[in-house]
Structure 1
Amino acid sequence: MTTVQEAADRVAAPRPRGGIAQSVSDSLVVAKRNLIRMTRIPEMIIFGMIQPIMFVVLFTYVFGGSIQVGASTSTQAYREFLMAGIFAQTVTFATAGAGAGIADDMHKGLIDRFRSLPMARGAVLTGRTLADLVQTALTLVVLAVVALLVGWRTHENLGKVLLGFLLLLLLGYAFSWIGALIGLSVRTPEAATSGGLIWLFPLTFISNAFVDANNMPGFLQTIAEWNPFSATVQACRELFGNLPPGFEAPDAWPMQHPVLASVIWSVLILVVFRTLAVRKYRSAV
């Protein structure tokens, strides 16, 4: 009888999974949980879309025609020059939301419950960042439609355009791990939101996102040229065919090889801050 029972237990017991398989499965479960939560709070998605749409409209119609890019001051040239910067700003500003969400889970004790479960240590953070990536992708789709409505156009083949959007999503995913680290390091969601935005404004404005970096003072131009944000913006402009007439890329290596520089920067940020965030999660109390 005992032998029969032991055999039945072995059949009923789940097969042990490897570390990678368990991590992927647990991460997808957490991601699904966060996506369901987003659908139940639609204002999170709606408000996340309003700000970038406002930036598109304001910069296009207020500054368009007043800022020289390359050899042109036309509204259309600036509109096409601007959109890569707006896209990149949108994916990086999602960092604040990622940090606030994790800080809120910490504040409510949800993270402590996850830590008590037999699940992969990094799955909670990976699942959260994957859910944020889905929301960012949705926001980019809506923003691209708005951009098309106000006159933005691409002038390269579909493959290059899709590659540009993939670079944007990679940058956004890498920056979401910075938000995760901030969310684990503060005590309240409000602090995470402030901490997630305070450094993003200088990062995005001391760049080539909204103006030609060639027109900046010497030291600011150097910062802008080596800014990881600028590399992705420049890469997208080239892949979208949105470089204005007479525009000359700066001599700095990231501006001469923006696609490669964008990938290197994004992967480096992802590896460093994922490592730090997972380590912080394991030591959180």
Structure 2
Amino acid sequence: MTAELTATPAPEASFGTQFGAVLMRHLRLLGRQPAYLSISLMQAVIWLPLFGSLFRHVADVPGFDGGRSYLGYLTPGVVAMTALFTSGWAGMGFIQDMEGGVMDRLLTSPARRGALVAGPIAYQAVMITIQTVIIVVLGWALGTHFRSGPAGALVLLVAAVLLAAFISGLSITLALLVRNEESLIAASQFIVLPLTFLSSAMMPRDLLPGWIATVARYNPVDWAITAGREALGADPDWTAAGWRLGALAALAVATGALAARAFRTYQRSL
């Protein structure tokens, strides 16, 4: 615990310094858990060929989003799924800090609540960036054609990071409210799995049942997937991708602010 607390922001530090200290603390903790890091990265490697092989005949269904292989269609979906499942656990670090007494000591310091939230979210962004790069490179190696080149891949990466920031903020908020691992796990699964399957991650929206297709239009996960697909196409629709990125950014800011405010509820419960 002593080693962990050495990363606590100094009282006189600026927001940027506090944010950097919190981010570095999480990166150092990750380095002490090589198994978790390896599994997280391998997840990105496994999902694309696994789902690509399992659902490859979807491309033969009449009405499929034409002209591309199923693997090319699936790649943005796997990127979004990976971001969703990884960031859904962002609140677990807060639970561990609560149980270890680290959170109480941080909250009695002058550390800014925004920095305590922004640091873990930035850590999630680092993880998602690495995973997205792996998926994109793997998709390219398996024959996926990114017709718009690096610009489209960059939009896909931004979409994944914004989705992860949104879900991370939500997970942190839930952690501060429920304050135990079992409840957070249940809440995370309740959110993550429906958001995955109520999207066009594995099936074009036009082929989804009517009510699911309607829900998917308002699903932030689908926004990230669609933004990536629009940007990676031969004739990218940058406007369609742009407004979805803007909506994801707004949600990320909103859940980050909500997480910072959730500290008040946690403190009142002490």
Q: Pick the TM interval, shorter chain.
A: 0.7 to 0.9
- Aligned: 1:45 with 2:37: yes
Deviation at 1:42, TM superposition (A): 1.4
- Aligned identity (percent) is 25
Alignment match, 2:264: 282
* Alpha-carbon offset, residue 83 of structure 1: 0.6
Q: Is residue 2:206 matched to residue 1:206? A: no
Shift of 1:51: 2.9
Question: Are 2:214 and 1:222 aligned?
Answer: yes
Hey, what does 2:150 align to over in structure 1? 158
Q: Say whether the 8 Å CA contact 1:99–1:196 is kept in structure 2.
A: no
What is the CA-CA distance between 1:115 and the residue it aligns to?
A: 0.8
State the 1:155 CA deviation.
Answer: 0.7
1:125–1:278: 8 Å Cα contact kept in structure 2?
yes
Of 222, 229, 235, which residue of structure 1 is paired with 2:227?
Answer: 235
Q: What is the aligned counterpart of 1:127 among 119, 142, 146?
A: 119
**Structure 1 runs not aligned, ≥5 long:** 1-15, 244-254
**Residue 258 of structure 1: aligned partner:** 240
Deviation at 1:46, TM superposition (A): 1.4
Aligned Cα RMSD in Å? Answer: 2.6
Provide the C-alpha distance between the structure 2 equivalents of 1:221 and 1:66, rounded to a whole number of angstroms. 17
Within 5 A, what are the aligned runs for 1:80-229? Answer: 80-229=72-221
Larger radius of gyration: 1
How far apart are 1:262 and its partner, in Å? 1.7
Residue correspondence of structure 1 range 20-99 to structure 2 within 5 A: 22-68=14-60, 71=63, 77-99=69-91
Q: Is the 8 A contact 1:232 1:258 kept in 2?
A: no
Q: 1:201 & 1:241 partners in 2: Cα distance?
A: 27
Q: Distance in 2 between matches of 1:119 and 1:179?
A: 21
Task: Give the letter for the 2:249 counterpart.
Answer: V
SS in 2 for 1:167: helix
Residues of 2 paired with 1:52 and 1:205: CA distance? 18
- The letter for the 2-side match of 1:202 is P
CA distance in 1, matches of 2:259, 2:198: 26
Secondary structure at 2:36 match in 1: helix
Whether the aligned pair in 2 keeps the contact of 1:69 and 1:77 (CA below 8 Å) is no
Q: What amino acid is aligned across from residue 196 of structure 2 in structure 1?
A: T
Matched, 1:271 2:263: no
Partners of 1:74 and 1:216 in 2: CA distance: 16
TM-score (norm 2): 0.85
- Worse-matched range after superposition: 149-158 or 71-80: 71-80
**Distance in 1 separating the partners of 2:264 and 2:85:** 26
* Cα separation, partners in 2 of 1:240 and 1:132, compared to 1, 3 Å: same
Aligned residues: 256
Between 1:200-209 and 1:73-82, the stretch displaced more is 73-82
The farther-off stretch of 177-186 and 72-81 is 72-81
8 Å CA contact 1:174, 1:266 repeated in 2: yes
CA distance in 1, matches of 2:171, 2:190: 12
- Secondary structure of 1:191 counterpart: helix
CA contact (8 A) 1:60 1:79 kept: yes
Q: How many angstroms does 1:178 deviate by?
A: 0.8
> TM-score when scaled to structure 1?
0.81
Q: Any idea what SS the aligned residue of 1:199 has?
A: helix
Q: Distance in 2 between matches of 1:262 and 1:161?
A: 16
CA distance in 1, matches of 2:231, 2:61: 18
Please report how far the alpha carbon of residue 169 of structure 1 lies from its aligned counterpart in structure 2 after TM superposition. Answer: 1.1
Measure, in 2, the Cα distance between the counterparts of 1:22 and 1:40: 27
Do the aligned partners of 1:81 and 1:237 also contact (CA within 8 Å) in 2?
Answer: yes
Name the amino acid aligned to 2:81: Q
